[in-house]
């Protein structure tokens, strides 16, 4: 009897396969446009159609539960991985708002786990497409969506890989070891949420201070939060940037600033406080304008991002440094080839010498440039 049911189910599966494939394409579109957004990203989403082998095994093991193929709720499946634990419910809410949820078959495994135990945590939704004309062809076919955090997924993957789920025949000591690991992952998940919330509070505090007109003290540490507000509000930086735009007759290219990139540059030069940065921008103002002009003229650009000032500052600070120190700095930029690094290091030195000559200051030569200078003097004598 079971083989007759299996044969009937598999034939239905084969007939439905093109529809299943269409559903996957539609699901990908929905998650991209309706579930995710610019302000809400998921760590990963996987979609799959259950294989015939897996379906056959399920029917063989639990065939009495199913009268027709549509009774099996996970022929189409999706696994949604969030970055953190507190985002699981947010993803669930978005899914609930779009799809029709089968409450009877939906399981929140976070709630059914014994509170004294640690282990698999995940939210399993069984859903259908909305009952509108566009999705009429998918009527009667349900989708199982598993939603879990990245660390919950880590636990589930390792648990599955070790074949631990059944716990049958596993010694108590190993079960306790698994529980200890699960408890650590659960604790880490919650701590990451706490850290994220504290970062938001810190950012709000900085933002509110600036909004109230409170100047950030010179000893304010530079980090991804404070550099953002520094670049948006600091008068020294903004006046310098405006002067560059006007002097070079170029336009401000407004894009999302890469604050982590700027912090990486500043960290290299051990610029850790806001006051240090303001002092450097003030003292090196003329050199920064000179170098920026040279760069803009060489590459032929008509626009500039505000963070370009920090690249110009880097050129200024590295100009008098040794060739090897320049290369160490350029190693921060993994996309540069060795030849590009060499050219940039030589360009930094060239700009430094040109600026010193223009401003009638005594140039500071690196060892490499002293050799080049000496060769030049010998050639002049000859």
| 175 plus 242 within the same structural domain | no
Pairing of the two strands 143-149 and 76-82: parallel
| 116 plus 36 within the same structural domain | yes
Q: Which of 371, 362, 365, 333 is nearest to 349 (CA)?
A: 365
| 119 plus 247 within the same structural domain | no
Neighbours of 128 (CB within 10 A): 17
Last residue within a domain, chosen from 190, 218, 251: 190
- Reduced to 3 states, what is the DSSP secondary structure of residue 125? strand
Whole-angstrom Cα distance, residue 85 to residue 196?
11
Whole-angstrom Cα distance, residue 5 to residue 284?
81
Whole-angstrom Cα distance, residue 108 to residue 223?
39
Q: Quick one: pLDDT at residue 334? A: 79
The residue assigned the tokens 């989403």 is: 45
Last residue within a domain, chosen from 172, 190, 208: 190
| 182 plus 236 within the same structural domain | no
Q: Quick one: pLDDT at residue 26? A: 95
Tokens of 354: 């040109």
**Is position 202 within any domain?**
no
Last residue within a domain, chosen from 132, 166, 190: 190
- Reduced to 3 states, what is the DSSP secondary structure of residue 225? coil
The residue assigned the tokens 């290299």 is: 268
**Is position 205 within any domain?**
no
Tokens of 4: 């007759």
The CATH number assigned to the domain holding 32 equals 3.30.460.10
**Is position 331 within any domain?**
yes
Q: Which of 369, 351, 343 is nearest to 314 (CA)?
A: 351
Q: What is the pTM of this model?
A: 0.59
| 181 plus 236 within the same structural domain | no
Tokens of 11: 């034939």
| 168 plus 239 within the same structural domain | no
Q: Quick one: pLDDT at residue 263? A: 92
Pairing of the two strands 100-101 and 44-49: unpaired
| 286 plus 355 within the same structural domain | yes
Q: Quick one: pLDDT at residue 382? A: 41
- Reduced to 3 states, what is the DSSP secondary structure of residue 232? helix
| 284 plus 175 within the same structural domain | no
Specify whether the CB–CB gap between 120 and 113 falls below 8 A: yes
Whole-angstrom Cα distance, residue 23 to residue 135?
9
Whole-angstrom Cα distance, residue 178 to residue 135?
43
- Reduced to 3 states, what is the DSSP secondary structure of residue 365? coil
**Is position 208 within any domain?**
no
**Is position 216 within any domain?**
no
The domain tally of the chain equals 2
pLDDT, tens digit only, all 382 positions of the chain = 457 778 889 999 999 999 999 999 999 999 999 898 777 889 999 999 999 999 998 888 876 788 889 899 999 999 999 998 888 889 999 999 999 999 998 888 666 555 444 445 678 999 999 999 999 999 999 999 999 999 888 878 877 766 655 555 567 777 777 778 778 888 888 898 888 888 888 777 777 765 544 566 788 889 888 888 888 888 899 999 999 999 999 999 887 768 888 999 999 999 999 899 999 999 999 999 999 999 999 888 889 999 999 999 999 999 888 889 999 999 888 778 889 999 999 999 999 989 988 877 655 555 555 555 555 444 444 4
**Is position 207 within any domain?**
no
Whole-angstrom Cα distance, residue 311 to residue 306?
10
Q: Which of 71, 65, 60 is nearest to 3 (CA)?
A: 60
| 20 plus 96 within the same structural domain | yes
| 134 plus 278 within the same structural domain | no
DSSP track, 38-105: TTB--SEEEEEE--HHHHHHHHHHHGGG-SSGGG-TTSEEEEEEESSGGGHHHHHHHHHHHSEE-TTT
**Is position 56 within any domain?**
yes
| 102 plus 244 within the same structural domain | no
Torsion-angle region of 169 (φ positive above 0: left; ψ -120 to 50: alpha; else: beta): left
Whole-angstrom Cα distance, residue 159 to residue 177?
12
Specify whether the CB–CB gap between 17 and 75 falls below 8 A: no
Q: Which of 214, 229, 27 is nearest to 135 (CA)?
A: 27
**Is position 199 within any domain?**
no
Domain that includes residue 256, residue range:
226-381
DSSP 302: S
Whole-angstrom Cα distance, residue 44 to residue 286?
48
């Amino acid at each position: 009897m079971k083989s007759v049911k299996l044969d009937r189910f598999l034939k239905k599966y084969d007939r439905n396969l093109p529809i299943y494939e269409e559903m996957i394409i539609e699901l990908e579109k929905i998650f991209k446009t309706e579930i995710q957004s610019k302000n809400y990203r998921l760590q990963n989403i996987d979609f799959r159609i259950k294989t015939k082998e897996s379906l056959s095994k399920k029917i063989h093991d639990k065939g009495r539960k199913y009268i027709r193929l549509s009774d099996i709720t996970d022929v189409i499946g999706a696994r949604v991985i969030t970055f953190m634990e507190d985002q699981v419910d947010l993803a669930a809410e978005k899914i609930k708002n779009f799809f029709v949820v089968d409450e009877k078959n939906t399981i929140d495994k976070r709630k059914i786990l014994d509170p004294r135990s640690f282990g698999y945590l995940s939210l399993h939704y069984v859903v259908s497409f909305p009952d509108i004309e566009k999705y009429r062809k998918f009527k009667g076919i349900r989708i199982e969506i598993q939603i879990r955090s990245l660390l919950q997924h880590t636990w589930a993957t390792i648990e599955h890989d070790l074949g631990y789920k059944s716990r049958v025949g596993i010694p108590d000591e190993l079960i306790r070891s698994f529980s200890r690991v699960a408890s650590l992952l659960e604790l880490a998940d919650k701590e990451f949420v706490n850290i994220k919330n504290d970062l938001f509070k810190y950012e709000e505090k900085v933002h509110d201070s600036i909004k109230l007109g409170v100047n950030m003290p010179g000893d304010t540490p530079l980090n991804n939060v404070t550099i953002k507000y520094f670049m948006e509000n600091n008068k020294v930086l903004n006046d310098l940037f405006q002067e560059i735009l006007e002097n070079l007759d170029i336009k401000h290219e407004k894009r999302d600033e890469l604050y982590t990139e700027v912090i990486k540059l500043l960290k290299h030069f051990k610029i850790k406080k806001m006051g240090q940065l303001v002092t450097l921008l003030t003292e090196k103002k003329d050199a920064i304008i000179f170098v920026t002009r040279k760069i803009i003229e060489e590459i032929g650009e008509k626009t500039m991002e505000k963070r370009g000032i920090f690249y110009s500052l880097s050129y200024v600070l590295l100009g008098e440094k040794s060739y090897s120190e320049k290369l160490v700095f350029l190693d921060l930029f993994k996309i540069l080839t060795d030849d590009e690094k060499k050219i940039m290091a030589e360009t930094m030195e060239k700009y430094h010498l040109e600026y010193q000559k223009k401003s009638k200051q005594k140039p500071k030569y690196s060892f490499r440039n002293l050799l080049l200078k000496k060769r030049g003097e010998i050639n002049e004598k000859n």
